Structure 1
């Protein structure tokens, strides 16, 4: 996919993740109406931000994969940001075949070219498993893509974390082939960012010259640096990117205004 850019300003990307939408409106996760919080996040971005050039979604769009959940996602995104393209990778709660039947083909590309930038979309899911892995085919695709686009500034996206984030209970689900992945990224020399979802919290670290990042969920938030499952009281949110042609990248995390969501903060899992 090649998207037009405005050369007179930075390219803007809205990153959202882990919506966990249900097959029916009003479904909840640990007491939170996930559709309501998703709409709150979109409305916050709509009011606060300039119009994005792309909406980037890193999985767990559905809490349990269904055609209806994906249709509801598309409805709300297209209502808030008409004519803005969105692209997705699957999460462990998603099903690729159902996503493909519910979304337009343009929403599921492998590559997105934005001027001097290239976004590479990888599938880290294993059917019926919580943990992630990049298969040999995915790693070969990444290696070939990086070799073919040495002139681009690159963002690599997936659902699962390729590095430990400090939460023991969720780090057991990180990408099993992370060592080879990180070696390929480091060798390329032009990967600026590795971006994922899954961990329901903001995260940033730097390995070599590469920035590794995750973003808040649009629903419940996991408490950082927790050994066991624990919820954070921070609000749902998103990440905003601005990319310049010379390879500069600005990013920030934004959260919606305080809400009195009836979340079960004492829960030990779901």
Structure 2
């Protein structure tokens, strides 16, 4: 890949490795997301999908590899005590604010209302004016169909409603890239479509997104690129038509057969 393509990429990961307890989960994974790309990452449980996503957002730090966000290289170095300098930590926090993360388990603050959950990041991290943030938060909640629930608390919401609030919360930070970690896996089947509809709308408006998902038909419909991860490595990647209609890998063929 050319230096220009790397510098212009919204998110670029090169040769990421990650181990836990001596078990290598990522074995050299690379991925480039250009602006407006919608990339779905598929694969069996334990293949490293969520770990890869968490490494890109620095919720986990890769043991080796490089990460760039809009051409800026992240400093992943550690000091002699295994910590990171103030300069490195400031860069990490700034970069994280550019990457909106939606988790499978929602991760909403239970002691805060829906509106307060959405407002927290822009007020506390971005230090924006509270009145302006509230106007934006209400608009985002309206967009995901949750404005009428704005004064409720997460414990009083369904799983689908919680996930829609989580999406609004991520959007409130005005991220350059949205990261979704199996956003429907914790939902009852009848609630899945309401969340997928919101994600589809984000894709249609040109949001840059990387999504770990087990929703194969959805990945096929909305993605510009699909990545198949197997045992910590990218075994196949390409357009949805290529991977779903003509998979080359025997592992991918078996995986897709088990999904339909």
Mark yes or no: TM-score above 0.5.
no
Which has the greater radius of gyration?
Answer: 2
Q: Which has the higher contact order (CA 8 A, sep 6+)?
A: 2
More helix, by proportion: 2
